[in-house]
């Protein structure tokens, strides 16, 4: 049930079908005859102008509409013997502008374009009030959807922030301790490993005894980019004659700065989306 509106003391039901609004003709008819609303609808459908309206609407909106049956009804409309119910119209012409429902929320419903015309046939004044209340309902729905969209957008932002913070907490290198800075490393490769990953390759193997390969095999795209940059920076520092102790501090600073920048880099995110399993995976 899409909703209900109150029009001059009459409750009018509205349903949604294929993303279109259908208004209860049965409820509208009760404005004229509360005891026998179906008689009012059937009487309206006997008129030639009504058949022409229904047929034109179907031609514009329904590719499966049966025009031959429509022409037969149009030719008979207005005669003393002509009787037409919504159910017969729907079954004979394959119409979609009218809907006949049974059960608790049963009755005859019509697409809003048709329902407004029926309301005008009932009462021009009633039609104007019906349109006004219908528009009010749609405005309320629009505000509700806008509020829901803003809430979802806000939650998405919060979740994105939580996600990116988690990535940064995991990927951004830690500041090295004094002991790590003063330690002499056996190879330049391990110097870079400590500056970026916070541990040597031997320490990584001890922490991950079940993994094959080495720590760089499990590095992220961001880490591999920074590692390549650190290799270039380290070669310059070596050429300048800096000791390992002096170089590792600068390499660690550079790793932290670059990882902070790269964790939110759009181009790298696009590169990840293109990954077909050939790029190294994140350390578990």
Averaged pLDDT, 212-219: 85
Share of the chain above pLDDT 90, in %: 44
> How many whole angstroms from its chain centre is CA 93?
36
- Kindly compute the dihedral angle of the four CA atoms of residues 188, 190, 193, 199, in this order, to the nearest 10 degrees: -150
Tokens matching residue 238: 């070596």
Give the C-alpha separation, 77 to 49, whole Å.
Answer: 9
Task: Give tens-digit pLDDT for 241-284.
Answer: 888 888 999 999 998 888 887 766 555 555 454 444 444 443 33
User: Which pLDDT score is estimated for 163?
Assistant: 45
Averaged pLDDT, 177-199: 87
Give the C-alpha separation, 183 to 145, whole Å.
Answer: 60
Task: Give tens-digit pLDDT for 56-91.
Answer: 999 999 999 999 999 999 998 888 888 999 999 999
Give the C-alpha separation, 256 to 171, whole Å.
Answer: 9
- Confidence band for 135, pLDDT divided at 50, 70 and 90: very high
User: Which pLDDT score is estimated for 81?
Assistant: 85
User: Which pLDDT score is estimated for 281?
Assistant: 41
0.75 exceeded by the pTM?
no
């Amino acid at each position: 049930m899409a909703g209900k509106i109150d029009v001059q003391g009459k409750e009018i039901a509205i349903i949604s079908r294929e993303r279109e609004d259908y208004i209860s003709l049965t409820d509208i008819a009760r404005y004229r005859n509360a005891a026998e609303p179906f008689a009012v609808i059937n009487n309206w459908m006997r008129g030639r102008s009504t058949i022409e309206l229904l047929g034109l609407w179907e031609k514009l909106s329904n590719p499966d509409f049966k025009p031959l049956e429509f022409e037969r009804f149009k030719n008979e409309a207005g005669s003393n013997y002509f009787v037409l119910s919504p159910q017969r119209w729907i079954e004979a012409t394959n119409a979609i502008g009218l809907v006949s429902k049974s059960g608790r929320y049963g009755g005859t419903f019509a697409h809003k374009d048709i329902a407004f015309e029926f309301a005008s046939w009932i009462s021009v004044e009633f039609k104007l009030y019906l349109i006004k209340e219908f528009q009010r309902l749609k405005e309320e729905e629009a505000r509700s959807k806008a509020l829901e969209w803003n809430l979802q957008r806000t939650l998405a932002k919060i979740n994105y922030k939580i996600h990116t913070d988690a990535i940064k907490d995991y990927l951004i290198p830690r500041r090295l301790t004094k002991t790590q800075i003063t330690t002499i490393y056996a190879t330049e490769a391990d110097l870079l490993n400590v500056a970026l990953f916070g541990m040597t390759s031997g320490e990584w193997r001890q922490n991950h005894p079940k993994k094959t390969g080495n720590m760089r095999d499990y590095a992220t795209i961001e880490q591999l980019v920074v590692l390549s940059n650190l290799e270039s920076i380290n070669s310059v520092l070596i050429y300048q004659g800096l000791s390992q102790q002096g170089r590792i501090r600068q390499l660690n600073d550079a790793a932290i700065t670059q990882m902070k920048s790269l964790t939110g880099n759009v181009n790298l995110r696009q590169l990840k989306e293109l990954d077909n399993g050939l790029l190294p995976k994140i350390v578990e």
